[in-house]
Amino acid sequence: MWGIFTITKGLSLISNEKMSSLMNRFAGNLIKSIFVGIVITTILQSSSMVTVITVTMANAGLLDIKSASGIIMGSNIGSTIAVQLYAFNLFKLAPFMVLIGSVFSFQKCSTKLKITGNATLGFGLVFYGLKIMELSLSSFKDTGMQFLNTNLSNTFRGIFVGIVLALILQSSNPAIAVLQVLVSSRLISLNHALPIIYGLNIGTCSEAFILSFASNKEGKKIAYFNILLNIWGTLLFLPFTQLFARLLEALSPFNLSRQVANAHTLFNLFSVIAILPFMKIILKALDKFIKK
């Protein structure tokens, strides 16, 4: 968690003004806006931050509803890239990343070097922390597996746990990283981890939802679209959770951590693909039902 916080803190040195300018400049149509959302979230490593910026810009009339919704969809996909990196076994490189990152992070000569240093330090801490967590959990394998799988056997309970975790952490990435360790250590099954991933995606909408209370009609539409997108994805995947788990196992049969990362990525990717044909209907409905 410290590593992920360090990454986000370092990348937050990139000003919101620059991000807003980039959004405004390149967000012209829906597909282009999705791409912009992916790029900016990959840079900032925070879909919540991108969502808040997007709602704020829509609220100020700087983004139309189509561009803003595209950025939101791209942001959901972009937030999965860091989790893919966590699935690599880079524990041996972690000490060097921490050392180099610390040197760059504490220098005061260059902001670019400081951003690079924070990101490198953060990833080093994450890889080191994941390995330590995996080693420490091995002693709880038998009792822990029985306890967790029993308590998370109910799908809706898993979704609820995911929502609560996202509300507490205000980010899905730390919880996904922990899930990667739990599944890799075989403390919980992939089938039980998937509903938690669905819930995490819904829970990350909380900041935008809270912001919507102080927003005008356009800001509210974007905030509600963000919630709708993740609920849509959950309803889409829920009946096929077992099949989804088998697909993930087939894609990465020897890397359990990668299975969790792929679940997060494919959930967000296919949620976006599946909602695209209905965008006109959804945007018209939001315009009709949100009066002010």
String of DSSP letters for 219-242: HHHHHHHHHHHHHHHHHHHGGGHH
Q: What per-residue confidence (pLDDT) applies to 42? A: 79
Answer whether residue 22 shows pLDDT above 70: no
* Residue-averaged pLDDT of the chain: 80
Please determine, for residue 15, whether its predicted confidence score (pLDDT) is greater than 80. no
Query: Among candidates 7, 212, 214, which has minimal Cα distance to 124?
Result: 7
pLDDT of residue 25: 64
Centroid of chain to Cα 70 = 16
Q: CA torsion sign, 41 to 64 to 267 to 168?
A: positive
Q: With pLDDT > 90 as the criterion, what percentage of the chain qualifies?
A: 15
pLDDT at position 222: 81
What are the pLDDT digits (tens) for 156-203? 888 988 888 888 776 777 788 888 888 887 888 888 899 999 999 888
Span 267-271, average pLDDT: 94
pLDDT at 204: 82
Average the pLDDT over 134-160 and give the result: 65
- Predicted confidence (pLDDT) per residue in 148-158, tens digit: 555 566 788 88
pTM confidence score? 0.79
